[in-house]
Each structure stands twice: as structure tokens, then as C-alpha cells.
Chain A
Amino acid sequence: MTDAVLNAADVTPHAEPRWRAIGRNVFPFLVVGAIWETVARAGLFPARLFPSLEAIAAAFWRLTLNGILPHHALDTALRLGAGFALAAIAGTIIGLLMGRLRFAEDCLLPLVSIGAPIPGLAYAPLFLLWFGLGNFSTVLLVGFVAAFPIIFNTWTGVKAVKDIWVRSAQAMGADNQRLFRYVILPGALPYILTGLRLGLAQAWRILVGVEMLAAVPWGLGWMIFGAREFLNMDVMLAGVAVIAIIGLGLEKFVFQRLENYTVVRWGMMT
């Protein structure tokens, strides 16, 4: 039934042909690209600092072919995955505990509320001092920072499960384990998914910055920061482009999927 409604909404009277939709989306980039190219070729700024699109594309191609760019991107992606996995596991567990147990909520909430408003990067030097430069600190910091939205959302989700569902399940003889498995977890899942989405976005925003600070040998943040020393603006902008592509990929294939999943399954959001 919901599918039919959604499909009907898709085929609106002013649906446009596919090529027009693509053209509409590409047009702004053409305009901005043309402006960039004009400024770059006009020679207002040194070509070293303001490379033409051709130079950026050439750098991108060169670095992709000799495998440097993929290596950087892979390392960044692995760090993101590891940090996020850490945050997802720890955050969901802490959030569930806080939602279910009064004692855990009373104890943990003050700690979490003190830690959360401090921007994640502010912890970076401290983590670097305590755990050394490199991968371990980076992943740990990314996990630490991404855990906060996951904790808060999971906790809210468990609290938002309707009392009447819990009571009716108990009246029908559900024990604690079944209550958790069949009532609490599905009830809180939309919130948990929102938390995971926010946590992943947070992790992504922080990771590039941490890579610049933590002196990791590979990683897109480090590549951009290192290229600055040699005035390799074309390499830096190619790196920013890859970061944009990864970010867009996360947005399209992870965040929107998660959102659709919750929308379709629970009809919670519009």
C-alpha cells in the first residue's frame, strides 16, 4: 500500500525527462567551472596557487594511476570504518544501558553531558599526548567523538518507546529478554539509526582534521596538508575532490539508505 502511494507521488504531472534532470544538475557546475577556468587562465593569481581545471584533472589522473591517491583514500576509509565501528558498538551499548537502567542513566548522563559540548578536535592534542601520534589515536578520537550522538539518540529512543507497549508485552507474559528483543529494540531502532547517521557524519567531519594533526603516514587529510608544504595546489584540490566524492557517496549510499529504510519500515519521517 505504501509502495503504491510512493510510486504515485513519483509520477507527478510535472515529471521531466531524465536528460533534462541531469542537465539541470550539471548546469551549475559548468557555470562555476567556467568562472574558475577564466580566473585561472587570466593570470590574476599565480598558476601555482590557482591551477586550471586541466592541471587539477591531470594531477588527479597521475596520482590515481600510480596508486598514491587510492592508497590515501583507502587508509582514510579504513580509519573512518574502524572509528565508526568503535563508536557504534560503544555508543549503542551505553545508550541502551542508560535508557533501560535508572542507575546507569544517573551515573553516565553527567559525564556524557560534560564531554559532548566540547568540540571533538579540541581533544586531539590531548589524545596525541596520551596515546602517541599515529593510527591508534586517530581511530580512538574519531570513535570517541562519533559516540556522543549515538549515545544520545539511543538513549532518547529507548525512552521514547511507549509505556503502553512495554506494559502490554509484560501483561502478555514477555520476560525481560523478549521484551528487549521484540519491543524495546524495534521501538528504539529509528532513533538508533538516526544516531548512527549523525555519528558517521560527525566522524567524517572530524577525521580529515585529525589526519592533518596526527601525522599519520597515509590519508587524504595528510596528503592535502603535506602538499601545502610544496605548494602543490593541484594535488591539494584533487584531494579535496576525492574527499567530496567520498562524502557524497556516504550521503547517497549510507545516510539516505538508512533514512529510507526507517521511513519505509516505520513511516516515522516524511
Chain B
Amino acid sequence: MSPERIRSACRGALTLLLAAAIYEALARSGWFAPALMPTLEKIAATLVSVLADGSMLAHAVTTLYRVLFGFSLAILAGLPLGILMGRSRRIENFVLPLASALMPIPSLAWVPVFILWFGLGNTVSILIVFYASLFPMLLNAWAGVRAVNPLWLRAAGAMGADEQALFWKVIIPGASPFIITGLRQAFLRAWVAVVGAEMLAASDWGLGWVIFDAKEFLNADLMLASLAVIGAIGFAFERLVFGSLERVTVLRWGMVRSTKA
């Protein structure tokens, strides 16, 4: 590492330490109620204890189940529909106006409606996740298919590719950078939506529910501990899952260049 980068890292670490120290000083100063502003030590102790007794794990698993279920549904529906929209004028004409009218409605606006229709619990959260992640998936798949260079299509056609080969060998790889962006955006939306949906509609499990429930009992330490878990899971998905997905597909196919040299 160059001295420049070491200095950057030191400064970054120092800021984090400083922020933690300020927080700690405020928490210990007694200006705010300790229930509202627990010390870092207390937050860490809570985090360890909920991790150790397995309750945080159960909440995280429930949340992940909801988010992945809804997200998979959105892929199953959005990806083929988006590709069809890109291929067929008629389907595009029918779906696009509906999609552009529904898309600007924040998914959380549907929570009360879905609660009345489907009752509290898993179904509402899964459907909200589905709604939130459907549109990024759909529109990116559509844009991706339309962005495939027509020259490639004609070249492949001239070289005797049939419909099927054209689809799998040209259109899908050509659209893949968009599709992967769509997956990423869809997951980010899904992750935001699931937390909100759980706050409003979950009854006993889920990370969003934990935070909201902790508010009722003024358990700020539990809230901050769950925030840390939520942040860690979101970060892990973004970096590990989608980062490696990008590496094994589009980077390998040479569709986009790596931003990091």
C-alpha cells in the first residue's frame, strides 16, 4: 500500500473512532435518557446476547425468507415479461402504460390495502417485496433487450442462427448488463420494502418487526443492534452476491469493464 492510501485508511479509522467516542460521551453524559441513547458497550452486549440465544438469527431467517421469496417471484414474472416486451411490440404497448402508472406508487402505500385483503403476516410482506422489486426487473430486462446491437442480430441471422440460438447466444448475453443491474436495483428495493412491510404488517418475526417492537418498550439498544444486522446483511448481499454474479457473467463475457483495475 502506498503511503497515500495508508494515510486515507488512518483518517477513515480515526473518524469512525471519533464518531464512536462522541456518541459514547453523549451517552454517558446523562443528558439523554439512557433508555434512548444506550452506550456502545450495552449495544454490543445486546447484539451478542440476541445472536447467542438465536432469536436474532430466527428474525434474520424470517426476513430473508420473505425477501428472497418475493424477489424470486419478481424475477420469475419480471424477467420473461420484460424480455417479451423487448421482443414484441404488442406486449410492449400493453404492459408499458400499466407499468409506468404503477411504478411511481411506493410499494409501502399498498401495505394497508394488502393487510385488509390478505391479513397480517407473511403474505403481505412477500407481496410488497414482489411489488417493489418487479418494476426495476421488468424495465431493465426490457431496456436490455432493446439495447442489443441490431448489427449483432443481423450478423447472427446471416450466419444462420435460428430463433433459439439467437435468443440464448445473442440476446440474453447482450442484455445481461442491464439484467444484472435490474437484479441489483430490485434487490435493493426489496430490502427497503421488506423492512417497512414488516414494521407495518408483521406479527411476530422479522428484523423490521424487531426494531418497531423495540420502540414500544424503549429498547434503543435492541433497535441499534438490529440496525447493525440489517446493514450487515444488505451490505453482504450487495458486495458478495451481486459482485460475484457480475464477475462470473458480464465481466467474463467482456460486456463491461471492471471499474477497479
Contact = CB atoms under 8 A, between A and B. Distances in A.
Given A25-B97, A117-B231, A129-B220, A243 B11 contact: no
B7 A243 contact: no
A228 B108 CA distance: 14
A240 to B, nearest CB: 5
Contacts of B111: 209, 212, 225
Contact of A122 (B11, B95, B113, B227): B227
B65 interface: no
Q: Is the interface of A mostly helix, strand, loop or mixed?
A: helix
Interface in A1-37: 24-29, 31-32
Given A106-B7, A114-B231, A121-B192, A213 B214 contact: no
Interface string B75-114: 0000000000000000001110110111111111111110
A41 interface: no
Interface residues of A, number: 59
A107 B199 contact: no
A60 to B, nearest CB: 15
Chain A CB within 10 Å, residue with most, of B36, B102, B113 = B113
A145 B192 CA distance: 11
A28 B108 CA distance: 24
Contacts, number: 160
Contacts of A240: 105, 109-110, 113
Contact of B215 (A110, A117, A118, A125): A125
A247 B191 CA distance: 21
Interface in A95-125: 102-103, 105-111, 114, 117-125
Contacts of A205: 106-108, 192
B241 to A, nearest CB: 13
Contacts of A31: 94
Q: Is the interface of B mostly helix, strand, loop or mixed?
A: helix
Contacts of A29: 97-98, 101
Contact of B105 (A103, A105, A247): A247
Contacts of B110: 240
Contacts of B159: none
Contact of A244 (B13, B101, B107, B115): B101
Contact of A49 (B93, B106, B116, B230): B116
B108 A117 contact: no
Given A25-B97, A248-B101, A126 B116 contact: no
A227 B211 contact: no
Give 7 closest A-B pairs by Cβ, nearest first.
A247-B104, A106-B11, A209-B108, A119-B192, A125-B215, A228-B112, A118-B231
Interface of A: 24-29, 31-32, 49, 102-103, 105-111, 114, 117-126, 128-130, 204-209, 212-213, 220-221, 224-225, 227-228, 231, 233, 236-237, 239-240, 243-244, 246-248, 250-251
21 contacts: A25-B97, A28-B94, A29-B98, A106-B15, A110-B12, A111-B16, A117-B235, A121-B208, A125-B215, A126-B211, A129-B215, A208-B108, A221-B109, A225-B200, A227-B112, A236-B113, A240-B110, A240-B113, A243-B109, A244-B105, A247-B103
